Homo-oligomer: A and B are copies of this chain.
Amino acid sequence: MKVLLLVAHGSRRKEANAEVFELAEQLRCSDSVNADLIHTAFLNMAYPSIPDGIAKCIEDGATSITLIPYFLNSGRHVISDIPDIVKEARQQHPDVSIRIAPHLGQSGLMAELLIKIVNLLS
């Protein structure tokens, strides 16, 4: 059973966190996304935390979890913090495959999106 875990930074502003839940909902509503379940977790300042998010995936029957880091740049959160948490989670859940997808900003499609957004400015 394949579960996607959308992982965002987290904010003190609940409206900012709600945007991430809404995005996960849009993923769920997409016919083309190949996953049995989609959950959400936050690195900081919001719940569920990443370990809690991973535990929830496993509770729901996940045999394979893919974290999607919803981050723009390869700063320390992407390079160290998330991998460190996942390393620990793998030790706690050795029977579950847990992997980290490339972070959002790594996509070559990002420049394309930015250009589209800039062109929509009046």
* A positions within 8 Å CB-CB of B: 4, 6, 8-9, 11-13, 15-17, 19-20, 23, 26-27, 30, 32-35, 66, 68, 70-76, 78-79, 101-102, 104-105, 107, 109-111, 113-119, 121
Q: Please, which residues of chain B bring their CB within 8 A of the CB of A12?
A: 75-76
State the Cβ distance, A41 to closest chain B Cβ, in Å.
Answer: 14
Task: Say yes or no: A13-B70 contact (C-beta < 8 A), given A27-B115, A114-B23.
Answer: no
Alpha-carbon gap, A22 to B32, bound state (A): 31
Copies of this chain: 2
Q: Please, which residues of chain B bring their CB within 8 A of the CB of A74?
A: 11, 13, 15-16, 19
Q: Is the CB of A117 within 8 A of B33?
A: no
In the complex, which residue of chain B has the Cβ closest to the Cβ of A73? B16
In the complex, which residue of chain B has the Cβ closest to the Cβ of A6? B114
Q: Is the CB of A76 within 8 A of B32?
A: no
